[in-house]
Amino acid sequence: MPGVPVISHFSDIQGRPRRLWTQSMSWVLFLIGIFTYTQFSIIRHKENPEDRVIPSGAQIWQGIKSSVLEPAEEDDALDPGATTIQRVTHSMLWKDTVSSSRRFFIAIALLIPAILIGLHMAVFPYAEAFFLRFVLFFDKIVALSLLPILFIVFGIDEWSKIMLMVIGVGPTLMLDTYNIAKSVPREQVVKAFTLKSSNLDVAYRVILKQILPQIINSVRLNLKPLALFLFAGEMIASTDGLAYRIAIMRRHMGMDIIIPYLLWVAVLLFGIDALLRVANRRLHPWF
């Protein structure tokens, strides 16, 4: 049977695909996705040229242009002589991105203490006794259902949204750090003490230092829950932000704006993830 050895090569664990193969195969699913979308869009537009549920390429392009180059509806119109850069910095996409990312990064900054609490829980037995049971319990609370209380405590502006993210992701991060730190062999701690380390030396210079790459990976995995909580908060009550715009556009099926927004959010998250990945590789080449 000629040809068969080639085919069985594909199902071989020991197979060594050539570069051309790995490159081209990794794009196949993207192409299928784009093709299916276009197909559906064409079918629906044949039936109804004004369809807004699955916008065509031209509609999306128009949507991208108006979200990147035109000011948001609630803002003042730009004077016609504005340069492209002025247009972009006054556009609704820019404005929404700025306010959403501000919330996002404040939340990430507030998660750093959570990581440290996790570390202390793992290293200091009294801290463990104090925190662990509560964090284990608190981790299981669905943060979203606390929202009415968050509104009352933190007001309806920025802080309730930021705290939603912190409360939603913080305990998970604490427990993850705790587990990772616990898996550092006890012998290392003993050895560090015999070499005259202080308590804080052991915690920060022996344990934290070697688990940091794993913690960064854990943060990377938690980017998506963070974004989910941010979106939930912004959809429920806000005056700006990426999810605010999506919620408003949904009122009249503005999918031509929503789809570019979703892709933009994906690109942003991918960018942050890539940044953390590269930073991790640079900072911890031994990992």
Near other proteins by CB under 8 A: residue from 37, 56, 66, 110? 66
Nearer to other proteins, 11 or 194 (CB): 11
- If one asks whether residue 251 binds other proteins (CB under 8 A), the answer comes out as yes
- If one asks whether residue 28 binds other proteins (CB under 8 A), the answer comes out as no
Backbone phi, then psi, for 117, in 5-degree steps?
Answer: -60, -45
Near other proteins by CB under 8 A: residue from 178, 231, 244, 261? 244
Half-sphere exposure of 243 (CA within 13 A, CB side): 17
Give the residue carrying structure tokens 């570019």. 260
DSSP state string for 195-235: TT--HHIIIIIIIIHHHHHHHHHHHHHTHHHHHHHHHHHHH
- If one asks whether residue 11 binds other proteins (CB under 8 A), the answer comes out as yes
8 Å CB contact between 242 and 96: yes
For residue 136, give the 3-state DSSP assignment: helix
Residues binding other proteins: number (CB under 8 A): 41
Residue type, 135: V
Centroid of chain to Cα 155: 25
For residue 91, give the 3-state DSSP assignment: strand
- CB 63, min distance to other proteins, A: 6
Nearer to other proteins, 121 or 249 (CB): 249
- If one asks whether residue 155 binds other proteins (CB under 8 A), the answer comes out as yes
Nearer to other proteins, 34 or 53 (CB): 53
- If one asks whether residue 145 binds other proteins (CB under 8 A), the answer comes out as no
Nearer to other proteins, 50 or 79 (CB): 50
Half-sphere exposure of 147 (CA within 13 A, CB side): 14
- If one asks whether residue 73 binds other proteins (CB under 8 A), the answer comes out as yes
Site for other proteins in 171-210 (CB under 8 A): none
- If one asks whether residue 238 binds other proteins (CB under 8 A), the answer comes out as yes
Nearer to other proteins, 131 or 244 (CB): 244
Backbone phi, then psi, for 91, in 5-degree steps?
Answer: -75, 165
Nearer to other proteins, 252 or 282 (CB): 252
Other residues' Cβ atoms within 10 Å of the Cβ of residue 156: 14
- If one asks whether residue 26 binds other proteins (CB under 8 A), the answer comes out as no
Which of 44, 111, 157 minimizes the C-alpha distance to 276? Answer: 111
8 Å CB contact between 69 and 91: yes
Nearer to other proteins, 97 or 238 (CB): 238
Element housing 52 (H / E)? none
Interface contacts to other proteins, rule CB under 8 A: 1, 4, 7-8, 10-11, 13-14, 48-53, 59, 62-63, 66, 73-74, 147-148, 151-152, 155-156, 235-239, 244, 247-248, 250-254, 256-257
